[in-house]
């Protein structure tokens, strides 16, 4: 399979079918993954897995995330490569003991005697009116925990490639899909994408924008507006938050000398602060301005579409932030000349 044009949910579905075909040990479990709607969970990602590989490997579970996650961790710890689907990332909070105190620490606590080949597939983010308990962006929470890998695919190709790598990993991986990107369409190469390798989503020379998932849309829109003004933004998509490819960010900063981080998660204590802290401590000599970050307001996600859109960073805010940086740069250049 190469260079198919697929939606994100179909690319994920293809990755699962390919992985199940290659490894007869692979198991997936979750709520209604064989029965809902098209027979593939609420977004279709597990469609036709049960009919292709049997219900002993594709298992519907009771509505109990604590039990689902604990069972998934236990299966992985006994050597069975296991995928767990949790309908919404908000619901993973019910099973954090299994993830944080067991899966993330097992290899360390037992001297590496066994692996934990677990993938927790779930989705996060706002944008489609799922309200406060179904729309959170929790990637920073998981990225903070030693022992967990965190993937945040933004394109159909990344969804396929990163999921294949997550399934092959010996470590527990939180695989965060975005509910507003499932129907985005694009080319899928069919190749695994290694963790810890960022993607340059748009080359540029005047400012570095770092973003993931839906925030990449806003950055692309802002970059188009800025380009019309003669400002070329480079967009860096980390693709995984742990491992994090900070070297790609560093190389971009060395070229553009300006940094703005944009994410959908609440701005306070978000992963953008980690990027900026590392930029300030490791790349200060390459920066012409203090880095800036744009994140969501510190509030639960509203149900109202208008309010839901208003709490996340706006395209005009990205544009204005970059314009202010460029104005400072120009003023500094004029002062130096005089």
How does pLDDT run across 208-242, given as a tens digit for each residue?
999 999 999 999 999 999 999 999 999 999 999 99
Mean pLDDT of 64-86: 97
Q: Is 67 in a helix, a strand, or coil?
A: helix
Q: Across the chain, what does the average pLDDT equal?
A: 94
Residues 6+ apart with CB under 8 A from 199: 158, 236, 237, 239
When pLDDT is cut at 50, 70 and 90, the band that residue 35 belongs to is confident
Write b or e for each residue in 186-209: b if 16 or more Cβ atoms lie within 10 A of its Cβ, otherwise e: bebebebbebbbbbebbebebbbb
Whether residue 300 is predicted with pLDDT greater than 80 in this model: the reply is yes
- ω into residue 243 within 30 of 0, thus cis? yes
pLDDT bucket at 139, cuts 50 / 70 / 90: very high
Q: What is the share, in percent, of the chain residues with pLDDT greater than 90?
A: 92
**CA 195/CA 197 separation, integer angstroms:** 6
Residue 203 banded pLDDT, cuts 50, 70, 90: very high
Produce one character per residue of 107-129: b if its CB has 16 or more CB atoms within 10 Å, e if not.
beeeeeeebbbbbbbbbbbbbee
Provide the pLDDT for residue 2: 58
Q: What is the pLDDT of residue 238?
A: 98
Region 70-75: mean pLDDT is 97
Q: What per-residue confidence (pLDDT) applies to 280?
A: 96
Which stretches of the chain are assigned E, i.e. beta strand?
A: 4-7, 27-30, 58-60, 82-85, 118-124, 149-151, 173-178, 185-188, 199-202, 207-211, 233-237, 240-242, 259-266, 292-296
Cα angle, residue 107 at apex, residues 105 and 112 outer, rounded to 5°: 155
Catalytic residues: 65, 134
Q: Write phi, then psi, for 208 (nearest 5 degrees).
A: -100, 125
Query: Does residue 157 register a pLDDT over 60?
Result: yes
pTM across the whole model? 0.95
């Amino acid at each position: 399979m190469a260079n198919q044009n697929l939606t994100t949910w179909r690319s994920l579905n293809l990755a699962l079918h390919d992985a199940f075909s290659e490894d007869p040990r692979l198991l997936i479990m979750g709520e209604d993954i064989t029965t809902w709607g098209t027979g593939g969970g609420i977004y279709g990602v597990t469609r036709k897995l049960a009919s292709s590989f049997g219900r002993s490997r594709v298992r519907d579970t009771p509505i109990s995330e604590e039990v689902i996650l604990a069972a998934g961790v236990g299966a992985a710890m006994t050597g069975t490569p296991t995928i767990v689907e949790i309908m919404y990332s908000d619901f993973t909070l019910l099973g954090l003991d299994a993830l944080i105190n067991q899966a993330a620490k097992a290899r360390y606590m037992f001297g590496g005697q066994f692996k934990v080949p677990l993938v927790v597939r779930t989705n996060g983010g706002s944008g489609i009116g799922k309200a406060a308990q179904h729309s959170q962006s929790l990637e920073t929470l998981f990225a903070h925990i030693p022992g967990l890998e965190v993937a945040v695919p933004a394109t159909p190709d990344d969804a396929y490639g990163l999921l294949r790598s997550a399934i092959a990993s010996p470590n527990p991986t939180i695989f965060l899909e975005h509910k507003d990107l499932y129907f985005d369409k694009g080319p899928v190469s069919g190749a695994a994408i290694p963790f810890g390798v960022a993607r340059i989503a748009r080359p540029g020379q005047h400012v570095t924008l770092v973003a993931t998932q839906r925030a990449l849309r806003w950055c692309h829109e802002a970059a188009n507006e800025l380009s019309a003004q003669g400002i070329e933004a480079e967009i860096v998509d980390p693709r995984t938050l742990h491992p994090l490819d900070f070297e790609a960010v560093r190389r971009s900063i060395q070229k553009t000398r300006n940094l703005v981080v944009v994410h959908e998660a609440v701005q306070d204590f978000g992963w953008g602060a980690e990027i900026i802290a590392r930029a300030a401590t490791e790349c200060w000599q390459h920066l012409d301005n203090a880095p800036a970050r744009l994140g969501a307001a510190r509030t639960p996600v509203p149900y109202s579409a208008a309010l839901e859109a208003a709490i996340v960073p706006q395209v005009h805010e990205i544009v204005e932030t970059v314009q202010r940086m460029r104005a400072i740069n120009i003023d500094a250049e004029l002062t130096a000349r005089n």
